[in-house]
Chains A and B, each alone.
Chain A
Amino acid sequence: MQSEQSHSKAGILFTSPYLIHLVVFFLYPVGFSLYLVFHRWDLMTDPEYVGLRNFTYLMSDHLFWQALTNTLYFLVIHIPLQIIVALALAIVLAKPLKGRVFFRATFFLPVVISGAAVTILWQRLYSTEVGLINYVLSLVGIDAVPWLTDPGIAMPAIAIMATWKNLGLYVVFFLAGILAIPQTVYEAAKMEGASSWHEFRYITLPLLKPTMFLVVVMSTLGGFNLFIEPYVMTGGGPLGSTMSVVLYMYKQAFSFQHMGYAATLGFALALIIMVCVFIQKKYLDSERYY
Chain B
Amino acid sequence: MWIILLAILLYAEICVGATLVYWCATNPDEIELAKRLVKEWNHSHSETTIKLQPVPAGASSEEVLLAAIVAKTNPDIYSNMLPAMLNKFVKADTLLRLDGLKNFAKETEARIGATILKDYRSPDGHYHQWPWKLNPVMLVYNIDLFQKLNIKPPRTYDEFWTAAKKLTADTDGDGRVDRWAMSPSMTVMWWQRLYDFLPFYMAATNGRSLLNQGRADFNNVSAIAVMDFFQRGFARGYFPKSGTVSNLFAQQKVGMTIVGPWALKMFERSMAQKFNFKTIPIPVPDGHHGPAYTFGDPKSFVVFKNTQHPEAAWEFVKFMTSKKADKLLLDITGQIPVRKGLINDSYYKEVFVRRKNLIPFASQVPFTKPGDNSEHIVEILDFLGQQYEASAVYGTIPANKAIENAANHVEHIYKNW
Which A residues contact B (CB, under 8 angstroms)?
40, 42-45, 57, 123, 126-130, 144, 146-149, 151, 234-240, 251, 254-258
Contact = CB atoms under 8 A, between A and B. Distances in A.
Contacts of A40: 417
Given A44-B88, A45-B92, A239-B396, A255 B243 contact: no
Say whether chain B's binding surface is mostly helix, strand, loop, or mixed: loop
Most buried by A among B94, B243, B245, B382: B243
B188 interface: yes
Nearest to B70: A43
Given A44-B66, A44-B92, A151-B394, 13 more contacts: A44-B91, A57-B416, A123-B243, A128-B243, A130-B246, A144-B176, A147-B243, A149-B242, A235-B188, A237-B186, A240-B386, A256-B382, A256-B417
Interface string B67-94: 0011000000000000000001101101
A234 B185 CA distance: 12
A268 to B, nearest CB: 18
A239 B176 CA distance: 25
B63 A254 contact: yes
A239 B378 contact: no
B393 A238 contact: yes
Contact of B70 (A44, A128, A129, A130): A44
Interface string B379-417: 100100010011001101000000000000000000011
A23 B84 CA distance: 39
Interface residues of B, number: 35
Given A238-B394, A239-B396, A129 B240 contact: yes
Given A254-B63, A255-B63, A255-B190, A239 B390 contact: yes
B66 A257 contact: yes
A118 B243 CA distance: 17
A44 B85 CA distance: 14
A230 to B, nearest CB: 11
Contact of B241 (A147, A149, A236, A251): A149
B224 to A, nearest CB: 20
Contacts of A151: 394
B187 A237 contact: yes
Interface string B185-228: 01111100000000000000000000000000000000000000
A32 to B, nearest CB: 13
Contact of B186 (A130, A149, A251): A149
A254 B241 contact: no
Contacts of B375: 42
Given A44-B94, A149-B186, A237-B188, A254 B390 contact: no
Contact of A237 (B70, B389, B416, B417): B389
B14 interface: no
B378 A149 contact: no
Given A123-B243, A129-B244, A238-B186, A258 B417 contact: yes
Interface in B221-263: 240-246
A127 B188 contact: no
B394 to A, nearest CB: 6
29 contacts: A40-B417, A43-B69, A44-B89, A44-B91, A44-B92, A45-B92, A123-B243, A128-B242, A128-B244, A129-B244, A130-B244, A144-B176, A146-B243, A148-B243, A149-B186, A235-B187, A235-B189, A237-B186, A237-B188, A239-B389, A251-B382, A254-B59, A255-B63, A255-B190, A255-B378, A255-B382, A257-B66, A257-B88, A258-B417
Contact of B243 (A42, A127, A257): A127
Q: State the 4 A-B residue pairs at the shortest beta-carbon distance, nearest first.
A: A44-B92, A148-B243, A256-B379, A149-B243
Nearest to B393: A238
B378 A256 contact: yes
B71 to A, nearest CB: 10
A257 B69 CA distance: 13
Interface of B: 59, 63, 66, 69-70, 88-89, 91-92, 94, 176, 186-190, 240-246, 375, 378-379, 382, 386, 389-390, 393-394, 396, 416-417
B230 to A, nearest CB: 15
A250 to B, nearest CB: 9
Contacts of A237: 186-188, 389
A203 to B, nearest CB: 46
Given A235-B189, A254-B59, A256-B378, A146 B389 contact: no
A257 B376 CA distance: 10
Contacts of A238: 186, 389, 393-394
A127 B94 contact: no
A236 B188 contact: yes
A266 to B, nearest CB: 18
A126 B244 CA distance: 9
A43 B67 CA distance: 8
Nearest to B246: A130
Contacts of A57: 416
A68 to B, nearest CB: 17
B70 A146 contact: no
A129 B246 CA distance: 11
A190 B367 CA distance: 86
Contacts of A235: 187-189
Contact of A45 (B91, B187, B244, B394): B91
Nearest to B378: A255
A227 to B, nearest CB: 13
Nearest to A240: B386
A44 B70 CA distance: 6
A257 B240 CA distance: 34
Nearest to A45: B92
Contacts of A123: 243, 245
B4 to A, nearest CB: 40
Contacts of B242: 127-129, 149
Nearest to A40: B417
A273 B376 CA distance: 32
Contacts of B246: 130
Given A238-B393, A256-B379, A146 B241 contact: yes
Nearest to B59: A254
Contact of A44 (B59, B69, B240): B69
A127 B244 contact: yes
Nearest to B375: A42
